[in-house]
Structure 1
Amino acid sequence: MAGAPTPYHPTASPQAVLSLVRQLQQVRDLAAAVLDSVSFSLLGEADAMMVLGMVEDLGRRVDAARVASAADISVRCRRILGQESLAYKNGASSGIDLIIRLSRVSSREANRRVRLGENVTARRAGTSMLAPYYPAVAGALTAGDLGVDAAEYIVTALDQVAARVAPDDLGTAERALVASATGALTEETRGLPGEGVAFPADLVRGMAGQWQARLDPDGTAPSEPVAEARSTVGFGLFRDGLYPLRGGVTAELRGIMNALFDTYLSAHAAPAFPTAEEQARMASGQL
């Protein structure tokens, strides 16, 4: 594929749009040709891991474009547009219906992309364009540094408290979570445990929940029948050069702790967890 891509502008001529479509077709065909040439099972261990990383890099960029494209189609299909709605013009009942027809994804996936896209794409206000609701997530997603799963966890958690939290605090939480998900170094994460580590999406989900609780500690409704599980960790008396641990942790915090152990401790220095006998002695207060 020769030459740099032609920048696309909303008022571009039909020729420019056709050029964009051709460039995307060339990218698709080139990616298909490269992937068809790979025999994954024949790769060496180091090569297999490197290829996995590159495929994921490519996938994140494509996923970001999928989200942006679905959000754009959804806006063009608003019912308020009446007969000018893109859905109406194409005989679809709604934007989601049209997206499903065009993309062949499930209704759940189409809704997922549109919900995320509404929060991480620029918004039209008359003749002007407003920044996304979550600019840090939007930037990292578009750059291919942040996966859709992690982006969704961050946006969902922060959206639930956004109306009750100061914008500056919400922005701090957003940037910190994006940094944790991408391994970026920011003012929010500098000097903290796990600084510079890119955590997987499941751990980001737990972190997002912790930020949510910190930003809005009184957010749980009093009438909610089931109390949220909380981690309770304490230390016993110092003995034989060690402080015994007592208590319990949530699944999310356990995952975060395991990731930190894996990151900062070598296999030869992995933490030694107590045996069943030692656990029984700890429970009886003998340790």
Structure 2
Amino acid sequence: MKTLEERESPFEYSVSDRPRTMTAPWLFQYDGQPMEIKIPAGAKAIFDKRRQIVHVHDNAAGLSITATPQVFVRLDYAQDFHDIEYIDLQSPHLRLGGMYFNDGGLGFDDNKVFDFSNTLMFQSVCRLLNSPIFNPWRGYPVLRESKCYYLGNFETGDLWVHPESLKEEPEAKVDETRGFLIKFMFRTEVPVPGWDRFEKKDVEIQPGLYSAEVSKSDWQTGAPVTVKATGAEDGLMEFYEVFIPFNELDNRRQAGRVEIAHALYRTKFDPRQHTDLALKAVMPAPKGLFGKLFG
């Protein structure tokens, strides 16, 4: 683990020689249950209920967690894993996507349902990591070029595709085109050819109702290329995870033999508003008006 140098903070931390736990009305797990943050003995903590800030960092363990209603930031230098998750303001147990650093590599998490600009996401994360509350230490997560498809400069917010990756994919771009269609239902009046992944053979799904999830999209246009179909009514469940070229379905749809319904598309998400709100929340209050400290 790299040596961590603590940054000056506008907040006054509380410290206890005994382990503690901390929770907050805006802090939830994925299942909707309240989340508890463990505070090791000697770690520094803040709980500001009025401005809705929870923060704890342990220099010895290299662990920092900061949570506001807009964002959850975890830096873990012992595990070399750091993640920044943006939170749904109406449903605080839901995540809208974010960014992570794993073993020196940088990645984006869209939860398979959101669409955003990687550039804006990286710039938003850089703004958070320049705050002494969201990042209590000098410096940033280490990026290892051998692990990275994307490279970035935390100080300028610049993001680019690794030159070695560009050699293999000359048309690769930072702001990737994610598949716009996620899943849908379809009813077919005629057989449709596909590939049974488990039987490893060509098959034909028979007329009936199916649920479909897009498994592959065109990386340049976002158009669906392959879908994974599962039977959605009695007698069709033997077809489990049959992969179908989307054009086979679309051709039959245009011929009036396949009906598609209940399509679900990606939701656009701009992290900048969440970042603005989070940074505003942790701005130091006027002197003498510090929020309530955890103690």
> What TM-score bracket applies, with the shorter chain setting the length?
under 0.3
Q: Where is the strand percentage greater, Structure 1 or Structure 2?
A: 2
Superposition TM-score, scaled by structure 2 size: 0.24
Structure of greater relative contact order (alpha carbons < 8 Å, 6+ residues apart): 2
